[in-house]
Amino acid sequence: MILTCAPNFRDLGGQPAAEGRRVRHGRLYRSEAIPTLAPQEAERLATLGIRTVCDLRSEAERTHAAGHWPSSSATVLPMDVVADFRADADPLAAMRENPGEAGAVALMIDTYEALPAACAPHLALLFDRLAQGETPLLVHCTAGKDRTGFVVAMLLHALGVPEDAIMADYLRSGDCPNPAVVAATRRIMKAALGKEVQESALIALAGVRPSYLAASHARISRDHGSVAHYLREAAGLNEERQARLIATLTE
């Protein structure tokens, strides 16, 4: 199903999983933020019966754009994921030094390196909700590609989805650029830098690249040795809970 205002809304069903299984359709969804919908699209979305919405945006983002589920039958879980840059660091330093593509890529790499630590407690809550059967479940942030991309990648890892399939799903978010996300990125960067961002930098900031998600994996390898150890040590995914998730979410 495609939403006009959220071109990256998609079902994660069909992904190859552990032991020759596949992720069940209609259980797990991912998206960018979904604004107020036209009645016809709202009705189509309602037919999915989404019970749990994991909103990875900050409080400021949620205040600025409440999203489609401010009051409904779905349980909205606010999971404020902010990349944990050091307090004495300027997260835009790379862009200030080089406002072109190289600076933008460096900023994105820094962000993805910070995501494992920032997302770990939220992954624990997500796994808990899934283990309790609170599906269908939607994961989203503002753009639906960075925070959502990392969290979904870890969820798919937990289900035994192979690395190449996880990366392929991540890169799909670059197939349908959301004009609203691109425009917002342009506005935010102009306000932060005091000048228009270069077009090549905007493409790097608003898009997805294999090197971005790879930076998260590299950080996990340095800190935990492997994704499996990260999920167990930082996100509380023990063998019993993982087996329950695989049994519930795959077929």
φ, ψ for residue 6, nearest 5 deg: -140, 75
Q: Does residue 176 carry a catalytic annotation?
A: no
φ, ψ for residue 38, nearest 5 deg: -65, 150
Shortest CA distance to 30 belongs to which of 169, 129, 178? 169
Catalytically annotated residue among 5, 119, 141, 176: 141
Question: What is d(CA 70, CA 30) in angstroms, rounded to the nearest whole number?
Answer: 18
DSSP string, the chain: --BTTBTT-EE-TT-B-GGG-BBPTTSEEEES---SPPHHHHHHHHTT---EEEE-S-HHHHHH---S-SSSSSEEEE--------TTS-TTHHHHH--SHHHHHHHHHHHHHHHHHHHHHHHHHHHHHHHTT--SEEEE-SSSSSHHHHHHHHHHHHTT--HHHHHHHHHHTTTS--HHHHHHHHHHHHHHHTSPPPHHHHHHHHS--HHHHHHHHHHHHHHHSSHHHHHHHTT---HHHHHHHHHHHB-
What are the catalytic residues?
Answer: 141
